[in-house]
Structure 1
Amino acid sequence: MKRKLHLLLALLFPILMCAQAPELQEFATGFSRPVDIKHANDSRLFIVEQDGVIKILDATGNTNATPFLDIDARVRSSGNEQGLLGLAFDPNYAINDRFYVNYINNSGNTVIARFTTTSNPDIADDTSEEILLTITQPYTNHNGGSLAFGTDGYLYIALGDGGSAGDPDNYAQNLQSHLGKILRIDVSGASGYTVPATNPFVGNPAGLDEIWSYGLRNPWKISFDSDNGELWIGDVGQNNREEINNVPIVNTGYNFGWKCYEGNETFNTTGCPAAATITFPVGEYNYGGSPFRCSITGGYRYRGNMYPGIEGWYIFADYCSNELGALTPGLGGTWSMSMFNTPFSPNISTFGEDMNKELYAAGLTDGVIYKIYDPFLSVGENSLSNKYQIYPNPANDYFQISNQNTASQIKEVVMYSFSGKLISTTTITTENQKITTNHLTDGIYIVQLISNNDAVSYHKLIKN
């Protein structure tokens, strides 16, 4: 068996050195139409199912038997783009137990609501609902649905143009409509919400107070870069362009152009403002082709520590082609786009971060939660990882950590499977402590070392 593993690695690493692409690794199964993944600044992942249920997934890939929240009876999910669509935890969730959801109610309209958690942190109080906003939806599609808190502490709400095709009622450019917009509200009060005084149309009758930006067709997923606070938007196109927008949080209203423009291309400029006033996308790709691409699923910039080879990449997907995509930063604020085939056909509906900023994706049709990983296995090479090494590597029954001493010591060793599932946590109490591996199957693992001053490094471990 050892000989086979060594041969596999000898064949594998030259291939990995030739081309780098983020890939999917199965993390957990058994979900029904998952459409959002969020964390509450702890080890849990909260998986939003379109029918109206939120489930908790732990770090080992196991799902709690009892849902966190079940509001199926309040949610209309008969349309492909209807349902419970978005989740966001309050920045002060650890203190106030408050979280927010975006769903389509039984009348077919968008509801933004606040709930609280019970004394059991794994179960929400479904009777605590406070409806903050109800927005009439003229059609069943283009509901948007994403929720996220910015670094300014405000709640951002992504709404589509109301549906049909071609924005027939021109909602996206109409500043008297919430549709085709990103709204920004302050939910820090005891009840209800207020409008930030810095919203671009506060005190200006030309636009509604809640509007922060406009000109969007169907911003199915938005996210904030946890490093610099910038907003990323995956806006689903009509039949020509799928687009990605990236902007810093400022208080002037961005106009992203729809339906005047689809991506960088003219769509219908009747009555539209000058092109110089439009914020055009930082990335776009063509609808159609082979493989057939039809709908962007917006993602996140990777800011985790486990795979520094993809640090700063914006990871997204196309729902129809089942490709992962990446925007990689270049000189002068430029971006390069790449699309990568995957061995799966999950119809990726969403991405999410865990508390360590590692990325996940959800397959709508297969109900699988995937971990995003770098096949280079380019785990961290920093001052800590250069100081400490794990040996023997490959390991049989155990490994140890070099350079341990009482003044500077690794206090904890955390082991993960290649797919990112938590396997074990070991507290280090002696300089020559052995960490057992005889319970592991042969393969490749990731070892996290945590020092006394909470510095972290990652190391590859081969078990054979």
Structure 2
Amino acid sequence: MKTKLLVILCAVFGALQMNAQCARSGNFVQSDPAYNISGTANITFQTNGAKDVVFDANFMTVQGLDLRVYLSKQDDINATGADPIEVTTSALLGDNGMTSPVLSPITGMKTFPINQTTYPNVDLGTYDYIVIQCIGINERWSYANLGTANGPDCTTLSINKETLSESVSIYPNPANDRFEVSNDSQNELAVEIYDILGNKVIASEASRVKKQSFSLANLNSGVYLVQLKSKNQKVVKKLIKR
């Protein structure tokens, strides 16, 4: 058991752990017969808190007058209740690396990170459409209707609640003789601390306390792994003791 835990913790410590995912996907629908488009679009959440809009490698369209990408609650960003969020920071570039000429091809996989500072509360279950809008003529270029959530960690990545990695933090880090765990959402949280050999050196019962303080006075200087568990979610953070 200890060996198994050590393998898991070392994987985290070495930054080799894959970010588990939950995603909703849909195929692009052509809005205007004059502008070809095809391929699949996704909104993807990861356990490290990242949220992205992704066009798969099969994506294909043609250049327009300043094409932008939005998340929307309706298939038209100008519709009532659409509440659109722009996920592009500039116009889509063609395969020639330019925004011209019009009707030149745009193909291949593209990723648009959702700015968590500007849009901190994007809900995977609320935005049902990815829309491409031609800003130059204020016309919908295409949209994708997102299906149900799918992925190995959709249970862990709650659709309606922020992920555990977003709601808990440890500080200061590095720490001297004491550090705190901040549990902003006041979920029922259990804390366990391990050394790099996999030995559990500190543990606490699950608590909804917003801030918990832990003494490191009896521990040697070095690297420790703090495991934070709340129901079916788990986050491991690296802590340095000076």
Whether TM exceeds 0.5 here: the answer is no
The structure, 1 or 2, with the larger RCO (C-alpha pairs under 8 Å, 6+ apart) is 2
Q: Give the shorter-chain TM-score range.
A: 0.3 to 0.5
After TM superposition, the score normalised by the length of structure 2 is: 0.34
After TM superposition, the score normalised by the length of structure 1 is: 0.19
